[in-house]
Every structure is written in structure tokens, then in C-alpha cells.
Structure 1
Amino acid sequence: MSLRDTLLALVVVVVWGVNFVAIKWGVEEMPPLFLSALRYLAAALPAVFFVRPPKVAFPILLTYGLAVGVLQFGLLFSAIGLGMPAGLSSLVMQVQAFFTIALAVVFLGERPRPAQLVGALIAFLGIGVIAFERFDGAALVPLLMTIAAAFFWGVSNIATKKAGRIDMFAFVVWASLIPPLPLLALSFLVEGPDAMLAGLTHMSLRTVGSIAFLGYCATLMGYGLWSYLLGRYPASLVAPFSLLVPVVGIGSAVLILGEPLSGLELAGSALVFAGLLLNVFGPRLFSRLAPAQ
């Protein structure tokens, strides 16, 4: 990978890591579901007027839009709004890799490698350690919501695989038209019109900046650059950069938000990260060792 493209990958990592701080800032002043809707309105408009629709079946586009926009980010924003730490969220969300593997077995007929299964076991053991620390109901519910958000990220990954080799930037832009209406309806029913109005009328410049960052930087620029890199290089070369997202996420949450991590949460995070490392690098390592056996 060229130096320029390596720097672009690191830009994506930083943007996606800091993304969790922007979410935290946004939900402090805005109802989470309403914030999610505004994020996707920002991502879709005005981009849809300048980007041609992707050549993909509408059911796939709809599935992706509902999974990633309504379910993944609706749950994640709500979990952070209920007190899930932003830094810890950035790590827990990475278990989507293992949900993706499991869903690929069911819907794509793929077979996981032993290293991936061991990595999943280690990662979910880490999630169990974190859950033990947050066993109190008020703290456990946001964690479970974040895990559910990671599952729906896995669903969106399967929809992306089903879409095949298409213009992924156009796919993300046009899929961003799908979440706003369901999210606005859910916000109206769950959070209430008064909360929505209060969020708009008391919106600070920081919240405006958060929405702009979430819509334009994390969604359009992040996914656009990521799609560009995947189009130029093997996934095995690009994917490992995603391991740096929770590093940036936890680091930025500690530095910017002052979020603490308990000893058990650190231990659980280390196990999750170890499982992710094994998932990414384990298959290649095992294949190199195989001939010597």
C-alpha cells in the first residue's frame, strides 16, 4: 500500500474513532433517535442530487438502510444516551466481525476457519467480563443494546456482500435516504414531539458540529475512502486498519470526555481486542504453520 493510501486509511481510522465522541456530544443535547435521523439526512442531502443511484436491487438497498441506519445506529445512539461509555462502545461494536462470520455461514454458506472461531470465543469471553462489571440493570441494558447494534452491523455487512461489486459510495449515499423517516417516526413515538422540538430549539454549535461530523465525515468521507481502499487493495490488507478504530475511540474518549475504564473493563477490552487480532491475523498465521506440521 502506498504512503498516500496508508495515510488515507489512518484518516478513516481517526474519523471513525472520534465518531463515538461526536455521538456522545450529540446525545447530551438531542434525543438519540432524532439525532440518528438528522445524521442520515445530513449524509443523504445534498449528496443524492450529485451521485447516481447504485446498480443494486432495491430490497438489498432497503435491508442495508434499515439495518445500518435504523437498527445499528438507532440502538447505538440510544445506548450511549443511556450511559454506555463512548470509548467502550467503540470496542464492543467490533464484535460485528464475529456476527458477520456467523451470518455468512447461514446466508452465504461460508465456513469459518478455526482461528476465527477461537477468536470469537475469546472476544465474547471479554464481553462477558465487561458485562459482569456492568451487571447492574441500569448499566447492563446499554451494553446489551450496543451488542445488538453490533449484530445489525453484521446484517448490513451481509447486505453489502449481497450487493456485489458496485459503487459503494453511491450505495451509502442512496441508502442514507432510507433511515430518516423510520427514525423520525420512532423518535416521535418513543422520545416524544416535545423532546424533538426541544432538541432543535436548544441545539448548540457543538451539536450542529456533531451532526455534520457524523453525516459528512463519519458516513460519507469515511465510507467513501474505505470503499476506495477496498477497491484498490485486497481486503486482507485493508481490514486490519479497522483494529485501530477502538484504540482511537477509547483514547479520544479518555482524552476528550475524561471517561474512566475500570480494571475489569480493561481486562475485558483486552480479551475482545485479542479475539479481534486472532480473527484478522490468525488464519494467515495458521496457514503458514500448517506445512511444518
Structure 2
Amino acid sequence: MSTPMSAPSRATRLPALPLVMAGTTLVLWASAFVAIRHLQDVPPGALALGRTAVGTVVLALFLLVRRIRTRRPMVVPRGRDWLPVVTVGVLWFGVYMVALNAAEQRIDAGTASMLVQISPIVIAVLAVLFLGERPHRGLFIGLAVAFTGVVLIGFATSSGDGRGDLLGVLLVLLAAVVYSVSVITQKPVLARVPALDMTFFACLIGTVACLPFSGQLVSVIDTAPAGNLWWIVYLGVFPTAVAFTSWAVALTAMSASSLGVTTYLVPLITVLLAWLLLSETPPWLAFVGGVLSLVGVGIARRRPRVEPARRSHEDDASHPPPVRRGRPGR
């Protein structure tokens, strides 16, 4: 997400700030899995609508503060940019959140966070297909390893009849795929629309997409304990708005690939938080599957080494050095 124009200079003056912001993001994103798991009695659609509505309000406040401090106006998407913005809004802030909420009513928070971490592999495949990136052998090996991990997680979390919890696994996989598609869709637009502005519009569109669940949300507000309502507010303010802002501050001083690798810590943080706050841990076989999934992601993201010496030799043979012209002796 975009931040006030002074953010890059602050990050430059404070070398530790990007790491602090990245750590803040990881903890808040991990806490979202725990918060969603805590709200099992809230309908998935109502929870998604409440979260996106609160997030939209907070993001609007961020934009207002940025305008007051920097006099920088909001950038509204134009023409062809609206289609990907709407797509991201419906998929990421709509389908993703509803699917993840429904999944965590069936499987624990730690397992859900592990399954979502297959997203980098899906993103890699989509990048090959739609962004022109070249595939490599490690990608296919990583896919096989990660798929094995997903199968183990699904087996470990399946109930006796093999139905209920397996559906939860499939819902998390749907959320992971939807998230990956959203990342690929929004990438070209971010070159023209600042991330904060795009996130605000996407979150607003996601809120509109979730409006069919407004009746459920009204019922939740009328009948739910105050604690549940505060958890919904927490999800909208911190994992949705604050976490994306802190992520952007870190991104101003760190490469996207280096920062992206840090998200592999989210499952570990989620398991620790779920153990502390919910007294639950995934089955041991789910841990094995989660490790395999993360190893597969790591393998898939490794780039093959180029042989610089050999390539340099071939280049020298095919392209002799140019003849320098000038005075003798010079």
C-alpha cells in the first residue's frame, strides 16, 4: 500500500524501520487467522462484510490524513484500470475473505495459514502464463513437493468420514488461488495507481460485493457479544488496513522478493498465537505437510544459476573486441 510521500525518506534515515514494519505486518496477518478462528459463530459472509466495511473506513482516513499532510490528491483509476481494480475487489476482498472465514469454521488457524502459503507457487505459475516469466525445473519440482504437503495436510485434518474438514482444506485452497490471481491482476495497475489508492477502491468494491450478507451482519450486531464485535473491528483496522500500510513502508526500502520471503514466517507465528490464545495446534502430520509445502515454495522460487564464465567465453568468441582507432602509442 502507498504511504505518505515522506515514508521513503524516513525509511532511508531509519534503517531498522523496514524490518520493524515487516515484522508488524507478519504478526498482524498471522493474528487474522486466529481472530477468524475465534469468530466461528459469526457467518462467513457477515464477517467478511464487517471486516471490509471497517477496513474501507480506516483506509479512507489514511487517504484523508495523507491529503492533509502532503496535499496529495487521491488517484482515481481510469479507463482500462477499472476492470482489474474491480476484479481484485471482488476476488480478494470478497471471495477470498468469505472462503477463508468458512474454512476456519472447519480447520484450525495454523493449518489454514500453512495452506495459504502455497500462494507463491500459484503466483509463479500464473506469472509464467500471463506475465511472460520463464519456467524452470525448480518450479515443477517445487510444485510436486508442495502438492504432496497439501495432500498430507488434507489427510491429517480430515474427519472420520473424510468430508467435513476436507471441505475446509478445499476452501482454503480456493482462497489461496483467488489471492494469487488478485496479485497477478493488480501488478500492472500499480504502475499507474498508487497502492493505497487502489487498495481503498478494491476494499470498497469488496464491501459492495459482500452487501448481500448485510442482513446477517445486522443480526450479528444485534445479538453477538460485544467481544465478537470488537474482534470484527480489529480485523478491519489492523490486519486489513494497518498491516497493508506497514507492508508498504517496508517495501519502500526492501526488494519485493526479499520482503515476500518473510511471509513464510506467518504459519509459525499463527501456530504460536493459536496455541497461546486458542489452545489449539494442528495435528503433527499437518506440521509435516506444512513444512513440505513451504519447502516446495522455496524450491519453486529458486532461480537456476547462470554460467557466467562459459557465457562470457562464448560471447568473446562470437564477438571479437572492436579495433580501437587513434594515434600510434595511445
TM-score (norm 2): 0.78
Structure with greater helix share of residues: 1
Choose from 212, 223, 234 the match for 2:255. 234
Choose from 79, 98, 103 the match for 1:79. 103
Q: 2:132 is matched with which residue? A: 109
Counterparts of 1:25 and 1:43, CA distance in 2: 19
Counterparts of 1:111 and 1:204, CA distance in 2: 52
Contact 1:126 1:270 in 2 (8 A): yes
Aligned to 1:84, what secondary structure does the other structure show? Answer: coil
Aligned to 1:111, what secondary structure does the other structure show? Answer: coil
Q: 1:139 is matched with which residue? A: 165
Q: Which amino acid aligns with 2:46?
A: F
Query: Which 5+ residue runs of structure 2 have no aligned equivalent?
Result: 1-10, 64-73, 311-330
C-alpha displacement of 1:113: 3.1
Are 2:37 and 1:24 aligned?
yes
Choose from 175, 180, 193 the match for 1:154. 180
Counterparts of 1:292 and 1:87, CA distance in 2: 46
Choose from 17, 21, 38 the match for 1:4. 17
C-alpha displacement of 1:139: 1.0
C-alpha displacement of 1:196: 4.0
C-alpha displacement of 1:38: 0.9
Choose from 62, 81, 87 the match for 1:63. 87
Contact 2:107 2:157 in 1 (8 A): no
| Cα shift readout 1:203-228 (whole Å, capped 9, x = no counterpart) | 32322222222111111111122123
Counterparts of 2:207 and 2:172, CA distance in 1: 20
Q: Which amino acid aligns with 1:80?
A: E
Which 4+ runs in 1 deviate beyond 6 A?
none
Counterparts of 2:275 and 2:289, CA distance in 1: 17
Q: Residues 160-239 of structure 1: matches in 2 within 5 Å?
A: 160-165=186-191, 166-185=193-212, 187=213, 193=215, 195-239=216-260
C-alpha displacement of 1:5: 1.5
Q: 1:287 is matched with which residue? A: 305
Q: Residues 35-46 of structure 1: matches in 2 within 5 Å?
A: 35-45=47-57
Counterparts of 2:258 and 2:183, CA distance in 1: 18
Q: 1:265 is matched with which residue? A: 286
Contact 1:243 1:277 in 2 (8 A): no
C-alpha displacement of 1:22: 1.1
Q: Which amino acid aligns with 2:176?
A: A
Change over 3 Å in CA distance of 1:210–1:112 after alignment to 2? farther
TM-score (norm 1): 0.88
**How big is the alpha-carbon RMSD for the aligned residues of Structure 1 and Structure 2?**
2.2
Counterparts of 1:16 and 1:118, CA distance in 2: 28
Counterparts of 1:12 and 1:208, CA distance in 2: 22
Aligned to 2:104, what secondary structure does the other structure show? Answer: helix
Counterparts of 1:65 and 1:182, CA distance in 2: 8
